[in-house]
Structure 1
Amino acid sequence: MTTPDTDAQVVFVGYNAAYLRAIDGKVPSGSVVVIEEPDIIRKRNLYDAPAGFDCLDRIVPAGYQQSTEALDLAVELASARPVAAVVPGLEYAVPATAALAAKLGLPGATESAAQALRDKVRLREVAGAGGVRNPRWREVFGPEDILDFAGDGPVVVKPANRQASVGVQLLDSVDADSAALAWERTSGAAEYEQVPDRELAWRFLAEERLQGPEFSVEALVRDGEVIFENVTAKTVIAGPYPVELGHLLPAPLDQDTRAAFQDAIRKLVSATGFETGILHAEWILTDAGPTLVECAGRCPGDYLIDLVDLAYDTRIRLTLIDLLAGRPVELPSSAQRTSAIRFLAAEAGTVTEVAGVDTAAALPGVHAAEVDVTVGQEVRVWASSWDRAGHVIATGPDADSTRQRVLDADAAIRITTG
């Protein structure tokens, strides 16, 4: 990272504690301002959050989710102190971040690209027009549309503009009853702490259910050019809810397959008109090649940035700030090692015991072993990423050894429920 301007501030749209922890002490004191929805500040009790970070000056309440209220802060923010960069802290902040950066004359995704990345209907339209391979799809407005689209074949039903696998369902076959139930679960999916209380507009898709292994591509882009990319192999749980169980990167791929992913991400950048920032694009590798599932225009979740940093010796979050500030960046062309994460599961019920965390943490190559549930807490069957019970992270010299290390760490932890 280049030396930042100590007089300038970095504006984050959306409060992301993991991002702030990663940059705290590495950017000037008090140089970060966060814009967050007033309802989310209240729900997450973020009033005293600035006291926990040296870098965080304040949290400014303003609407940004399907709202232009945050744009009204542009003049106020810039007049108080120069703005070096505007960074998307969360998935729902991507359009507002792009709009605010554009208004301030700073590098960013572009407003049109951000809108496509936040709406899978629009993304399907522009990606398909740009030569990106897509599944067969249709916007749906009720169970009758799902049934009409699917016939009796397998189908994916999902929101077009939500996050974290919320409301996504995989159906092996479809009849009137299953279509009605899928619509009820998809359209009724809730994220209490992640969205404001005001009414928001949600859209929904039915898509052809693809067959093949799942991957993601993490890419940094400057002025429409990919300057760094990584391919991650994904593991998803079986059943109707495709929640991610683990990640391994760089994915062990042959040269032709890797080249196919490189071509696919460049076509996607071109199709969306994405200019500067970070992309996290998810794909299924079908017999025809990489086929787009979805794409986000912010740092990926699931600790993927931490995995990239461990494998490539990078500091992607700091690099992204430099990129969005228009500063030069240096990035490696290859990984130094492999890294992996495995998310912890437990039988549904009340947690009665958590054991083995210290044992897992002491295993070779393990960098993290964290359990997010405590004794007395209810554990649910996984329906979204929010239902996972913790994670373990490991590194190793190659994919096979790293995969085994993370599985050994997973096996060492016992979460007992009753």
Structure 2
Amino acid sequence: MTAPDPNAQVVFVGYNAAYLRAIDGKVPSGSVVVIEEPDIIRKRELQDAASRFDCLERIVAAGYQQSSEALDLAAGLAAERPVAAVVPGLEYAVPAAAALAEKLGLPGATEEAAQALRDKARLREVSAAGGVRNPRWREVFGPEDILEFAGDGPVVVKPANRQASVGVQLLDSVDAEGAALAWERTSSASEYEQVPDRELRWRFLAEERLQGPEFSIEALVRDGEVVFENVTAKSVIEGPHPVELGHLLPAPLDDDTQAAFATAIRRLVAATGFRTGILHAEWILTEEGPTLVECAGRCPGDYLIDLVDLAYDTKIRLTLIDLLAGRPVSLPSAARRTSAIRFLAAEPGTVTEVSGLETAKGLPGVHDAEVDVVVGQEVRPWASSWDRAGHVIATGPDAAGTLRRVLDADAAIRIATD
């Protein structure tokens, strides 16, 4: 991997503290500029964020969520200092980052691919046309559409252009009352700190509810060619909200299933016209084969990049910058170990005690354990990824051993609620 050009800057669209923390000290001082929504800077108190990371020179306030304002900064940014790469820091930043990269003549997803990745209805259309297996679906505009689509069968109701499982609901069956409630919950889902205050346009889908184990593929792509791929097995909680409970990678798969996923991700790349960057595609393995759930064009959340780095001895965030800068990269073809994460849960209520964290950290193979709630804080039922109470991460020589280690660490931590 070549070293970053000390005279060039890397522009992130969307503030991602985990990404900045991972590259801090590994890229030149002051070489990163972040574009963030003014409302989000205020809500997340990011005015002094540049003082938190040596690599971060400044945050520039500009709209990018369903806005072209950030694109207007291109000429000014390039005039101040050469731009080496444009990185989408967050889900809602993917289209703006792709457009900015194109305007600056840099590698990226392409605007067309980015728009498809940010809208599940559009993604369904283009991926199906390219031979990717999709569930039956339709856009919905109210409870009557949900009821008509579902009939007597199970259904998924979800936003087409949100993130983090926000507003997603799994319904075993639908009647008029259930359809009305599903529509109200899906259409009113909010993310106060993640979106600007101005009115945004949301779309909604009803989809056939698929049966089978869930997986994701994390892939790096250069000029339309997959240069690295990993398949992750994931588990979700039971009930109407499919929030991820844990991830294990690489997934223990037989050769035929591994080949089926490899074919599926390449069809998806070709269908969307995705050129350069990272993809996080989620699938359900049905009897017919991998069926697409959704796909993101940025680094995945849920610590998946950290799990990939642990399993493959990589530095994916740095590698992605090199890819988007057009620099050569070197990537492993196989994992050296397995890694897993388990998210901590607690009974809804007010936290009265947290114990066992240090015990969990001391268990074999445990790399990280964090509790994100404190005594006196309210714990809500899981409706999205934002509701989880913490996590544990472990590694091991094989899938079974790693899973056992991460579950032991999970069991060691107790979050008591009243």
Indicate the residue corresponding to 1:151 in structure 2: 151
1:220-299 aligned within 5 A = 220-299=220-299
CA RMSD of aligned residues (A): 0.3
Amino acid at match of 2:408: D
Indicate the residue corresponding to 1:30 in structure 2: 30
Cα deviations across residues 12-47 of structure 1 (Å, max 9, x unaligned)?
A: 000000000000000000000000000000000000
1:229-378 aligned within 5 A = 229-378=229-378
Indicate the residue corresponding to 1:202 in structure 2: 202
Match of 1:335, SS state, is coil
2:417 and 2:339 mapped to 1: Cα distance? Answer: 30
1:384-403 aligned within 5 A = 384-403=384-403
Indicate the residue corresponding to 2:100 in structure 1: 100
2:152 and 2:385 mapped to 1: Cα distance? Answer: 28
1:68 and 1:340 mapped to 2: Cα distance? Answer: 38
State the 1:172 CA deviation: 0.2
Match of 1:41, SS state, is helix
Cα deviations across residues 260-302 of structure 1 (Å, max 9, x unaligned)?
A: 0000000000000000000000000000000000000000000
TM-score by length of 1: 1.00
Match of 1:221, SS state, is strand
Indicate the residue corresponding to 2:110 in structure 1: 110
1:267 and 1:124 mapped to 2: Cα distance? Answer: 13
2:115 is equivalent to residue 120 of structure 1: no
2:9 and 2:46 mapped to 1: Cα distance? Answer: 20
Amino acid at match of 1:163: Q
State the 1:90 CA deviation: 0.1
2:17 and 2:178 mapped to 1: Cα distance? Answer: 39
Match of 2:26, SS state, is coil
Cα deviations across residues 240-276 of structure 1 (Å, max 9, x unaligned)?
A: 0000000000000000000000000000000000000
Indicate the residue corresponding to 1:80 in structure 2: 80
Unaligned runs of at least 5 residues, structure 1: none
Point out 4+ residue stretches in structure 1 off by more than 6 angstroms.
none
State the 1:179 CA deviation: 0.3
State the 1:152 CA deviation: 1.6
1:346 and 1:164 mapped to 2: Cα distance? Answer: 19
2:192 and 2:41 mapped to 1: Cα distance? Answer: 12
Indicate the residue corresponding to 1:139 in structure 2: 139
Unaligned runs of at least 5 residues, structure 2: none
Indicate the residue corresponding to 1:69 in structure 2: 69
Cα deviations across residues 159-203 of structure 1 (Å, max 9, x unaligned)?
A: 000000000000000000000000000000000000000000000
Match of 1:247, SS state, is strand
2:60 is equivalent to residue 53 of structure 1: no
Cα deviations across residues 342-383 of structure 1 (Å, max 9, x unaligned)?
A: 000000000000000000000000000100000000000000
Match of 2:291, SS state, is strand
Match of 1:113, SS state, is helix
2:197 and 2:297 mapped to 1: Cα distance? Answer: 24
1:182 and 1:64 mapped to 2: Cα distance? Answer: 29
1:178 and 1:301 mapped to 2: Cα distance? Answer: 31
Match of 1:334, SS state, is coil
Indicate the residue corresponding to 1:416 in structure 2: 416
Percent of aligned positions that are identical:
86
State the 1:2 CA deviation: 1.0
State the 1:4 CA deviation: 1.1
Amino acid at match of 2:127: A
State the 1:309 CA deviation: 0.1
Indicate the residue corresponding to 2:379 in structure 1: 379
Amino acid at match of 1:114: A
Indicate the residue corresponding to 1:170 in structure 2: 170
Amino acid at match of 1:366: V
Indicate the residue corresponding to 2:40 in structure 1: 40
2:145 and 2:153 mapped to 1: Cα distance? Answer: 14
1:5 and 1:278 mapped to 2: Cα distance? Answer: 21
1:132 and 1:54 mapped to 2: Cα distance? Answer: 43
